[in-house]
Amino acid sequence: MHENVKVIAMDLDGTLTQHKTPLSPEHRAVLTELSKRYTLLMVGAGQVMRIFNQLRNFPIDIIGNYGMQYGVYNAKTQEIDIKRDIVAHCNKERITEKINALRETYGYTEYAGETVEFHPSGCVTFPILGTKAKQEDKLAFDPDRVKRRKIYEDVVNTFSDYCVFVGGSSSFDMAPKPYDKFYALDVYCRENGYAHSEVVYIGDDYGLGGNDEAVYKSDFCYITIDNYLDFPQKVSELLK
C-alpha cells in the first residue's frame, strides 16, 4: 500500500490524541518519523489554530472546519499561515426553530443554557443537553451513540442544506454543504496535484454519522483506528 503513498492525512481527537488532549511526546516522535517520508496533513472539524495548539505547534499543514479553513505551516516563523477562512451565512432564527421542533418531537425539551450553538464559521452545533450542560451529564448521555443514531436520519432531513455529524458525546455538529472531510481532502488533492490513490487517511469516527464517514466510504485508502494509543502500531507498515 505505502509504495505509492505521498500524503498521510489524519484526524486528531480519538485518532492521534485523546479528545482535546495535547499531543504526547511518543506520538510526536511517530509523526516526526512519518514526516521524513511523507507529506502530513491534519483534517479537522475544529478551527485550525485550536488544532495547531493541541498539536503543540507540530510542523504540519491543517485543514479546519471541514475545509472552510486551511492553514500552511511556515517553517521560518514556526507558525501557521491561514490561507483560507470561509464564513458562511447562517439563518439563526430558522435554525433555532428547526432545533426546537426536533426537541419537541423527541422529548429533549429540558436543557441547560442555549438550545443551539452558532460558530463564527457558520457551522452549527445542536447540543441536546444544552450549551451549559455539565460534563458528567454529557458523557453519560449517549456513550455508544445509539440515542443520536436513532434520530440521525431525521436531523439530516431537517437540515438538508448541511452536512450533519454525530458529534462529541451529546450533540450533532453541522457544516454548510458541501463541507465535509471528503470534500476538504478532495479539494486539497486538486489544489496540490495529488491523486486520491496517493493519499492515506487515518481516522476513528467512521461509523454512521461520524465526521470521518465520508472519507471512509470514498475511494481514499483508509486506516481505521479505534483507540488513539494504537496509532504507532497502525502506521508501522508505512515506516517499513
Q: How high is the mean pLDDT in each 10-residue block of the chain (240 residues)?
A: 88 93 97 98 96 98 98 98 97 98 98 97 97 96 96 98 95 98 98 97 97 98 97 95
Task: For residue 84, count CB atoms less than 10 angstroms from its CB and return exposed for 0-12, middle for 13-18, buried for 19 or more.
Answer: middle
Tell me if 3 sits within 8 A of 237, measured CB to CB: no
Task: For residue 78, count CB atoms less than 10 angstroms from its CB and return exposed for 0-12, middle for 13-18, buried for 19 or more.
Answer: exposed
CA distance 75 to 63: 17
Strand 7-10 relative to strand 39-43: parallel, antiparallel, unpaired? parallel
Tell me if 61 sits within 8 A of 71, measured CB to CB: yes
Overall size of the chain counted in residues: 240
Cα 6–Cα 31–Cα 37 angle in degrees, nearest 5 = 30
State the number of CA atoms in the 13 A half-sphere of 193 facing the CB. Answer: 0
- For residue 112 the three cell numbers come to 441547560
**List of residues 6+ apart from 225 with CB closer than 8 A:** 14, 15, 202, 203, 204, 231, 234
pLDDT tens digits, residue range 195-204? Answer: 999 999 999 9
Element (H, E) at 79: strand 79-85
Q: How far is CA 150 from CA 141, 145, 166, 204, 213, in A?
A: 14, 9, 11, 20, 17
Whole-model pTM? 0.95
- For residue 133 the three cell numbers come to 450542560
What pLDDT is recorded for position 162? 98
Task: For residue 94, count CB atoms less than 10 angstroms from its CB and return exposed for 0-12, middle for 13-18, buried for 19 or more.
Answer: exposed
In the DSSP assignment, the letter for residue 65 is G
Task: For residue 96, count CB atoms less than 10 angstroms from its CB and return exposed for 0-12, middle for 13-18, buried for 19 or more.
Answer: middle
Classify each residue of 41-62 as buried b or exposed e, where b means 16 or more C-beta atoms within 10 Å of its C-beta. bbbbbbbbeebbebbeebebbb
- For residue 94 the three cell numbers come to 430558522
